[in-house]
Structure 1
Amino acid sequence: MPTLKIFVGTVYGGALDVAEQVKPLFEDAGYSVTVLEQPTLEDLVEPLPDLALFCVSTTGSGDLPGNLTPFARALQERHPALTELRYGLIALGDSSYGDTYCGGGRRLDALLEEHGARRLGERLEVDAMETFMADDEALPWAERWIDEQGLRQA
């Protein structure tokens, strides 16, 4: 059975809620799913999952949440080759913060791309100013993502 690891970067639990809500969609699509609340670089590379999903909120001035900072720092310092990694990204933010809107997710996306990872499809950006419950946008996006990227297992 193919593996999916969901990497969570959260401050108040919104991104974790999104991860837990989309998990059954991927299980129904044929994946063995692990949700990682305190992810490390080793969680990503040993072994590399068949698919990764990052659910990331933004804190401060467009920064990654504290629980994901060690992961990002290790990625920057150790420079692993991620050319075999296929991933999706759900970024949570608040557009009232202007230029730093979804900054945590955008920064992580750029960092993964720098290391050769390949994002499948478009990044979902959920605006707290427009959507009270992030999973209201994340669930339909995940369903479309699974279908549009041909991720459903036979």
Structure 2
Amino acid sequence: MPMLKIFVGTMYGGALDVAEQIAPLFEAAGYETAILEQPTLEDLTEERPDLALFCVSTTGSGDFPGNFVPFARGLDEQSPALVGLRYGLIALGDSSYGDTFCGAGRRLDEMLEDLGATRLGERLEIDAMETFMADDAALPWAEEWIETQQLTVA
């Protein structure tokens, strides 16, 4: 059974809630899933998943949440080759912050791409100013992502 790892970067639990709501969709599509609340670079490099999904909220001035900083720092400092890694990305933010809206997700996307990873489909950006419950936007996106990227293995 292929493995999907969901890497979570969250400050108040919104991104974790999205991950927990989405995981059953991938289980139904034939994946073994793991939600990583304290992700490490080794979770990605030493036991590379068949598919990765990043659910990352943005804090402050476009920063990564505290639980995600060690992972992002590892990516930046170690620059592991991620050629062959397929991933999706859900970025959570607040458009009232202007230029830094979804800054952590956008920065992570650039980092992964620079290391050779391939994003499947478009990045989902969820605006807290427009969507009260992030999973209201994330669930339909994940269903469509599974379908359009032909990710079903069951």
Both structures adopt the same fold (TM-score exceeding 0.5): yes
Q: CA deviation at 1:84?
A: 1.1
Partner of 2:29: 29
- Number of residue pairs aligned between Structure 1 and Structure 2: 154
Q: Deviations over 1:99-150 (max 9, x none)?
A: 0000010011111111000000000000000000000000000000000000
Aligned AA (1:48) = R
Identity of aligned residues (%): 77
Superposition CA RMSD, Å: 0.5
Q: CA deviation at 1:8?
A: 0.1
- Alpha-carbon distance between aligned partners in 1 of 2:85 and 2:151, rounded to the nearest angstrom: 14
Displaced runs of 4 or more, over 6 A: none
Segments of structure 2 that go 5 or more residues without pairing to the other structure are none
Q: CA deviation at 1:47?
A: 1.3
- Alpha-carbon distance between aligned partners in 1 of 2:76 and 2:93, rounded to the nearest angstrom: 23
Q: TM-score of the superposition, structure 1-length normalised?
A: 0.99
- Write the mapping of 1:62-101 to structure 2, written as runs, cut at 5 A: 62-101=62-101
Q: CA deviation at 1:66?
A: 0.8
Q: CA deviation at 1:77?
A: 0.9
Segments of structure 1 that go 5 or more residues without pairing to the other structure are none
Q: Deviations over 1:74-115 (max 9, x none)?
A: 111111100010000000000011000000100111111110
- Alpha-carbon distance between aligned partners in 1 of 2:50 and 2:17, rounded to the nearest angstrom: 22
- Write the mapping of 1:106-145 to structure 2, written as runs, cut at 5 A: 106-145=106-145
Q: CA deviation at 1:16?
A: 0.2
Aligned AA (1:134) = A
1:58 partnered with 2:58: yes
Moved more, 10-19 or 69-78: 69-78
Q: Matched residue of 2:6: which SS?
A: strand
- Alpha-carbon distance between aligned partners in 1 of 2:98 and 2:142, rounded to the nearest angstrom: 26
Partner of 1:150: 150
Q: TM-score of the superposition, structure 2-length normalised?
A: 0.99
